[in-house]
Amino acid sequence: MKQHWLSFELEMITEPAYECIKLTGRLAYDTQLAAEQKLLVAAAAVKRRLVVIDVSGLQFLDSTGLAFLVRFFKQVVSANRAMAMIVRDNAVLKKILLIAKLDRLLPIVADEQELLSLPPLRSPDSIGQEELYSAWQQCRS
């Protein structure tokens, strides 16, 4: 019998304008506890106003994982921070996020360049979620 490895990894990278939290593996019901523990530690370490979640490395995302991302988004915003998501070339994951309508909460961008080109990010230390989201919506239209 082939054993199925359940894994979720998180890496935190501090950039000059934002904190990047890279997620890899599975964000699903079976990895929820590990994900919550790792993200609590990462959230406590965030120092910048802008938090970028890079989900491009996720191989699987279920409804539990989506709920987890929404809870983390609420936690970030309640701490007076702004949040965006990077999907890179992971078209399947981007489609899942759009079907779940997460693009109604936060910017979902291809990469850092797209995010950093938004006008409010000229001074990322004072950015708010509404301002970031509004700028992203304007660039999309």
Q: Which residue range(s) make up the domain with 12?
A: 8-140
**What's the pLDDT tens digit per position in 31-75?**
988 999 998 898 889 999 999 999 999 999 999 999 999 999 999
Residues 6 or more apart from 70 whose CB is under 8 A from it?
A: 102, 105
In a domain, 22, yes or no: yes
Average pLDDT of the chain is: 90
Is 30 part of a structural domain of the chain?
yes
Is 1 part of any domain?
A: no
CATH of the domain at 123: 3.30.750.24
Asked if the structure places residue 2 within a domain, the reply is no
* 106 located within any domain: yes
For the segment 100-112, what is each residue's pLDDT rounded down to a tens digit? Answer: 999 999 999 999 9
Residues 52 and 55: their CA atoms lie apart, in Å, by 9
Q: Is residue 108 part of a domain?
A: yes
Q: How many folded domains does the chain comprise?
A: 1
Q: Is residue 91 part of a domain?
A: yes
In a domain, 3, yes or no: no
